[in-house]
A and B are shown apart, each in its own frame.
Chain A
């Protein structure tokens, strides 16, 4: 049995390696952080160097949800729907201070952090974060994907 366990672990590592370098991301952009997102995604900083270059504009084709910008209570059901439409495995990045904690907005309108609505894997602080910060967050997420237990179709469930 130990041989099988060894093989299974290696398979997990290979799957994680494949997944972390083929992130299709869905940009959910509402505010000024979108400028930094564009800068990160385009040629100057080039998110494609890390395998996350393929932007999908349908949540059903994406496995990384980047929430970029302020999310209000009015918008929260939309964000929740987008997250629910994504297929597993899926990850979420909270991009910028507003998505992390509500940022400078402490009022009736703004959700105080999107983790009150959907689960978040990586928080990127900054108002707005520099592209280097975003890429650092992406590398953190890749590290997380590599080392997490991989869920796959015929995986043995505990």
Chain B
């Protein structure tokens, strides 16, 4: 499958779930509807697309607009040695998307990190806890709305002499 026919086949298979197509340094980028993320990635994981590896799962906070948070999925196919990037926007109010924990085991920690840093809920995640910050941490530090000087110490701080 060449890049052009690949996009065509994915679009034919996923139908209206694909909202847009772009190119990033030779690798295809697909924009998905947030509601279709899980079924779409379940299809892409299987042959003939065979994207068996979830390389990374991150999020971007664009600070304004309807789709404020944009989830970014990086897939890799071992059998075909190609990459694919998928993006899906979720609204600012109660950002949520379906969890991929049943498809890829490593999605569990990646989704926990995104939840910790951006506050995006992953529905169906087996243990939706924070990953990097500690218990009692309030807010989500990589959100643009997080005050940049706000620290949340776990110990009472001493006065400097």
- A73 contacts B154, CB within 8 Å? yes
User: Do A76 and B141 touch (CB < 8 A)?
Assistant: no
Determine whether the beta carbon of A76 is less than 8 Å from that of B155: yes
Complexed CA–CA distance, A109 and B94 (Å): 25
Select which of A108, A111, A115 is within 8 A of B141 by beta carbon.
Answer: A108
CB pair A74 B154 closer than 8 Å: yes
* B127-154 to A contact mask, C-beta < 8 Å, 1/0: 0000001100000010000101111111
Bound complex: CA A112 to CA B149 (Å): 11
Residues of B contacting A: mostly: loop
What are the residues of chain B within 8 A of A112 when measuring CB–CB? 151
Pick from B151, B154, B155, B158: contact of A108, CB below 8 A.
B151
Q: Are A117 and B155 in contact (CB under 8 A)?
A: yes
Q: Which residues of B contact A115 (CB under 8 A)?
A: 158, 160-161
Decide if B133 touches A76 in the complex (CB within 8 Å): no
Chain A residues with a Cβ closer than 8 Å to the other chain, count: 17
Most buried by B among A76, A108, A118: A108
Would you call A108 and B150 a contact (CB within 8 A)?
yes
Known: A108-B141, A115-B160, A119-B158. A73 touches B149 (CB 8 A): no
A149 interface hit (Cβ, 8 Å): no
Residues of B with C-beta under 8 A to A107: 141, 148
Question: Residue A116 at the B interface, CB < 8 A?
Answer: yes
Q: Which residues of the other chain, A, contact B12 by a CB distance below 8 angstroms? A: none
Q: Which A-chain residue is minimally distant from B140 (CB atoms)? A: A108
Cβ-defined contact, B160 with A113, below 8 A: yes
Question: Quick check: B154 and A76 within 8 Å, CB to CB?
Answer: yes
Give CA–CA (A106, B151) in the complex, Å. 10
Chain A residues with CB under 8 Å of B161's CB are 115
Q: Which residues of A contact B157 (CB under 8 A)?
A: 116-117
> Known interface pairs A106-B149, A108-B141. Does A77 touch B154 (Cβ–Cβ under 8 Å)?
yes
A49 part of interface (Cβ distance < 8 Å): no
Tell me if A80 counts as interface (CB < 8 A to partner B). yes
A contact residues around B153 at 8 Å (CB): 73, 76, 111, 116
Residues of A near B158 (CB, < 8 A) are: 115-119
Known: A76-B154, A116-B153. 5 other contacts (CB 8 A): A107-B141, A107-B148, A108-B152, A117-B157, A118-B158
